[in-house]
Structure 1
Amino acid sequence: MNSIPESVIVVGGGENEEHEVSLASAAAVAEALQDAGYLVDPVTIGRDGIWRLGEQVLGQTPADSLTAVLPALGHADVLFPAVHGLLGEDGTLAALCALTHTRLVGSDLRAGAIGMDKGLTKLVAESVGVRTAPGRVIAAAEIGAIDFEGAVVVKPVSSGSSYGVSLVQDAAQLSDALRTAALFDRRILIESVVRAREIDVAVIREADGSCWAPPPLEIHASGVFDTDTKYDGSAQFTVPAVLTTDESAALIRDARTMFDALGCRGVARMDFFLTADGPVLNEVNTMPGMTAFSQVPRMFAAAGVDYPELITRLVHGATVPGPVRQEALRGTT
């Protein structure tokens, strides 16, 4: 059984377009843990890949700075990776923790990597009976040979906060949308537009292994819930979302199904469209926004779990990521 953690490294920043969003999540997490009495070491990964421990720059190259931060990882009880997007949420930091045997808040390499890849997520969803929008993944090299019928959404396969996402209403807009997506990924997802209510569901796995979901949240936005809408304050949220008993049950069932199918730990946010025929999965976030005003904390607040308590529960549930280790098998037959 894990001992009660006392020291936590909170990592923010990262080498992707979600750098500033991640800094906000990391600062909020660090403050909540400090207020709760934890020893907190704030670590920032710069856009240049250089790590910083507090104000101390660790090395002149990414390799040097990673080497310099390893002793801190070795002495910390838990790492809280508040890095969204590539080279963070995609399992990169989970892999580092697996190699150093450091307890991690959140999902391991496999869940992070698959959850970040929208194409693979669709395949997993299909295999467990969770509906997604009709679509296909193409390579950036195929841009000139693509046509379509009807409105579509164009997305980079692995990118967060809706960066590179475009709503395409006619064929004349398609080339520009594909080129925009290609700035963020060499693989591009083209999906049919689903016109429905947008509902988020959070799922948490507690330290004792139990798994549950707070009341879902509804997003109210004009048009696509894109990057600008997410951060300019124009979107409105209703939590708990106004749902029938059957609608809520279907959304939570599908969210938990995906959480288990991906092997998620900690907390994850599943984004759905709610149609007349039931939920349609949009995407999965294995390290969602974590300020007190982000969607996930709002949902847990509606269940009576305030922000400091949520962050503390996530730390208590931290585990060493990776396969079952041999010492865990000793004494078994």
Structure 2
Amino acid sequence: MKKNIAIIMGGYSSEVEISLKSGNVVYTNLSKEKYNPYRVHILKNKWVALDDLANEYPIDKHDFSFKLEGKKITFDCVFNAIHGNPGEDGTILAYFKLIGLKHTSAPFYQMALTFNKRDCLSVVKQYGIKTADSYYLDKGNAINVDEIIAKVGLPCFVKPNNAGSSFGISKAKTKEDILPAIEIAFKEDSQILIEAFLDGPEITIGVIQYKGETTVLPMTEIVSENDFFDYEAKYLGKSKEITPARISDEMHNKLAKNAKKVYEILNMSGFSRSEYIIVNNEPHFLEMNTVPGMTTASIIPQQAAAAGISLSELFDNAIEMALKNEL
């Protein structure tokens, strides 16, 4: 019997439109012979399942079911395509844990930990993973620009602590740039992270569970036309994404070992995409994305293709791995 799969998409953050695109790519490429996939929009004002004609049916939050033509539809598994809150920060996954519904992401605690950039960096540093020097600010804290510069130098990056798709990130090149950058970041989150600029090639690495094994996908080198890999570079064609990355075998092995170690340190499962900068021949870990984009412009689909894995195989594998996981 075919499994009923909920592909959740949307969310409550600035990434809602990207998530809807990702979710629709999953829906289009998931085998209809093997599964009954349903698009489920999780939005601030409604939770609804869609039929093939995009008619909406309210989700019963008691058990995450809905009624279609008088018949109750329940799900065997959830494919998580929500970037940001409440999918990538673990919130909705805690709810699925409570009602006993399996999903394609890591457990809710791991998702919450990796979504919080400051906490994630604090954990991996304890295992010898190199990172950028950083400075933390919470909304309401006194802001001492000279102290920030003394800690991280110039230029530096000012980031929301809990956000994705480069929303709210600025590169501050001068002392005068820092306060406006902080104001922009606080529009996305009440916590921010200010990091030293790392000068070197940027490499993004997909690590997934594939057929029961932790698998490092072919790496992608990011060459942005802008100052950094911002929203325009990611989604509006303002960058070159070179897969596989133009790095030596030695560096490839070093990065692969590092990325796999980080994945395992954080007790991850499901999808991940981690960002690295190479400085003085050493990988420096920036962050991990646990619900990476699945749009046609996204990196994980590019890396899977380079590994000979089709989108249908990639998504099918995620569901099969999820169904084997213990609740």
Do these two structures clear the TM 0.5 threshold for a shared fold by scoring above it? yes
Offset of residue 34 of structure 1: 4.2
Q: Give CA-to-partner distance per residue, 1:21-65, whole Å, 9 cap, x none.
A: 00000000011114454101110022x341111145556xxxxx5
Instruction: Write 1 or 2 for the structure with the bigger share of helix.
Output: 1
TM-score (norm 1): 0.88
Offset of residue 261 of structure 1: 1.3
Of 38, 43, 46 in structure 1, the residue corresponding to residue 40 of structure 2 is 43
Matches within 5 A, 1:125-144: 125-142=124-141, 144=143
Deviates more, 1:70-79 or 1:230-239: 70-79
- Within 2, Cα distance between the matches of 1:146 and 1:139? 14
Q: Give 2:205's aligned residue.
A: 201
Q: Give CA-to-partner distance per residue, 1:198-248, whole Å, 9 cap, x none.
A: 10111111353x111121111110311111221111211111111111111
Q: Counterpart of 1:189 in 2: which secondary structure?
A: strand
Q: Give 2:224's aligned residue.
A: 221
Q: 2:13·2:84 contact (CA, 8 Å) conserved in 1?
A: yes
Offset of residue 70 of structure 1: 1.8
Instruction: Report the CA distance shift for 1:58/1:5 in structure 2 as closer, same or farther (over 3 A).
Output: closer
Instruction: Report the CA distance shift for 1:292/1:5 in structure 2 as closer, same or farther (over 3 A).
Output: farther
Matches within 5 A, 1:53-202: 53-54=49-50, 55-57=54-56, 67=61, 70-72=64-66, 75-142=74-141, 144-147=143-146, 148=149, 149-202=153-206
Is 1:212 the equivalent of 2:232?
no
- Within 2, Cα distance between the matches of 1:76 and 1:207? 22
Q: 1:18·1:160 contact (CA, 8 Å) conserved in 2?
A: yes
Instruction: Report the CA distance shift for 1:68/1:44 in structure 2 as closer, same or farther (over 3 A).
Output: farther
Return the letter of the residue paired with 2:49: L
Instruction: Report the CA distance shift for 1:172/1:300 in structure 2 as closer, same or farther (over 3 A).
Output: same
- Within 2, Cα distance between the matches of 1:136 and 1:66? 43
Of 52, 58, 66 in structure 1, the residue corresponding to residue 48 of structure 2 is 52
TM-score (norm 2): 0.90
Q: Give 1:10's aligned residue.
A: 7
Q: Counterpart of 1:141 in 2: which secondary structure?
A: coil
- Within 1, Cα distance between the matches of 2:2 and 2:158? 43
Q: 1:273·1:281 contact (CA, 8 Å) conserved in 2?
A: yes
- Within 2, Cα distance between the matches of 1:195 and 1:201? 18
Q: Percent identity?
A: 27
Q: Which of structure 1's runs of 4+ aligned residues deviate more than 3 A?
A: 34-37, 55-59
Offset of residue 67 of structure 1: 2.2
Gaps of 5+ in 1: 60-64, 326-333
Q: Give 2:69's aligned residue.
A: none
- Within 2, Cα distance between the matches of 1:266 and 1:119? 22
Q: Counterpart of 1:70 in 2: which secondary structure?
A: coil
Instruction: Write 1 or 2 for the structure with the bigger share of strand.
Output: 2
- Within 1, Cα distance between the matches of 2:90 and 2:323? 14
